[in-house]
A = this chain, B = another copy of it.
């Protein structure tokens, strides 16, 4: 099971009614955070999943509304008792930016590990398989995909046919290799093809570029920006490199995702519900993001 929480729904600046857009994922008690604007630690406190087990923080880009909460967050993670290293992932320049912000949090009880994104790759941390693509914004910006892969089925019949001793079945499934009486057994002997895992896409801020369709294909959940609801703001969205609701919905439809959550609303967009239909008529499984909206995603057959 992968738990996902949308910590806030605001874009540009924090406001009294909205925390800034950020996503928290929880897998076996470990946490992955994407983006950390001013106030993200407050909405996390309200959520109650804790701070100590945050193993990785990913940044889409370095506009302040996506990273300004980092110094306070690092101090709060330290106050929660963390001593294990913490990994930060983001566009090139990450270390320079963070070292600037860390001037007001110079002493932490844990170390930071920096991963600056370059060529395509998948990073695995605490069971989260993190991949990313460059998207189209005013500055270098990435969308993230979080996968929890699922192994194939263990073929009981085949294991018996091959006389694999029962005592090593569990080890073989978990570790992919096991020994018994000096004989080696490997997973491919008894494990079926990997099954569909769980996948979540987090995309903000960007125009709805084609590569996002492939990247988001068949995801269980697409969390996507919808800076403006109104159709007539499309030109503004093009200029500012954002999306309107209907563009996010079209992306969700083309990528054939299971559901879409809209977020990163403009401070001027006071009633996003007025424009939800603009998205739903294109992609029915569209929902508006809300502060601390949570979903638990399960493996499905």
Contacts and interface: CB of A to CB of B under 8 A. Distances in A.
A75 B71 contact: no
Interface residues of A, number: 32
Interface string A69-94: 10110011001000000000000000
Copy count, this protein chain: 2
A41 to B, nearest CB: 7
A42 B39 contact: yes
Nearest to A46: B16
A97 interface: yes
A28 to B, nearest CB: 27
A64 B72 contact: yes
Contact of A15 (B42, B65, B99, B102): B42
A103 interface: yes
Contacts of A13: 41, 72, 75-76, 79
Interface of A: 13-16, 37-39, 41-42, 45-46, 62-65, 67-69, 71-72, 75-76, 79, 96-97, 99-105
